[in-house]
Amino acid sequence: KDHILTAAHCVDGLSANRLRIRAGSNQHGSGGKLVKVAKVTQHSEYDAKTIKNDIAVLKLVSSLDFGPTISAVELPSSADDTPQVGTRCSVTGWGSTSAGGSTPSNLLVAYVDIVDHKKCVEEYADRHEVDDSMICAGVKFGGKDACQGDSGGPLVDASSKKQVGVVSWGFGCGQHNQDGVYASTAAYLDWIQGAVLAV
């Protein structure tokens, strides 16, 4: 009720008093409840150049009231609780529907599948390292993906309803053989729990 999971690059260099979170609305700029942020905990080894350790936790000034429009998402149960290749996942956000495109006002969802890690490493071999703390998701011939403005959003296993990733990076949006790259919540489970418990 007191914490929000996001990507480090979304809050890099920002102080808590500049941030607000909106909960309980599927509209980009209205509805639900706006809550101030008390503290930003960004991974201490986040690297803006390599986009490694792209994870952060926000502590809220006041607790969220859970109900029909606001609830918590479950995290993986252990570092080994990672989704299998082909697992169908949802990614949600208010990001562009195409690279450089406009931002929708309604929350959108796309369904993507977990991609073989070695394949993803090879896809980006000449651009960026995809390490073991990252997972990749996309669809076979492209066309569905997270895009600009979706960063920090949740990648959720459609069957278990656990958040398996945080939208991190990619090249273009929905391109064939350029799958979306996500910070793996299983890989950062201990770090997330530590950030939540930190005073």
Non-local CB neighbours of 197 within 8 Å, separated by 6+ positions: none
Annotation says 9 is catalytic: yes
* Whether the Cβ atoms of residue 119 and residue 44 lie closer than 8 Å to each other: no
Query: Judging by DSSP bridges, how do beta strands 56-60 and 134-138 pair with one another?
Result: unpaired
Q: How far apart are CA 2 and CA 167, in angstroms?
A: 21
Cα–Cα nearest to 44, from 33, 56, 32, 36: 56
117 classed as catalytic: no
Query: Annotated catalytic, 54?
Result: yes
Segments in 58-199 forming alpha helices (H): 117-123, 189-197
- What are 122's two structure tokens? 């090879």
H helix intervals, 60-163: 117-123
Catalytic residue among 96, 133, 151, 168: 151
Which of 76, 55, 66, 60 minimizes the C-alpha distance to 12? 55
From the candidates 43, 54, 128, 179, give the one annotated as an active-site residue.
Answer: 54
Helical residues (DSSP H) of 74-167, grouped into ranges: 117-123
Which residue's entry shows tokens 């998701």? 137
Residues annotated catalytic, as ranges: 9, 54, 151
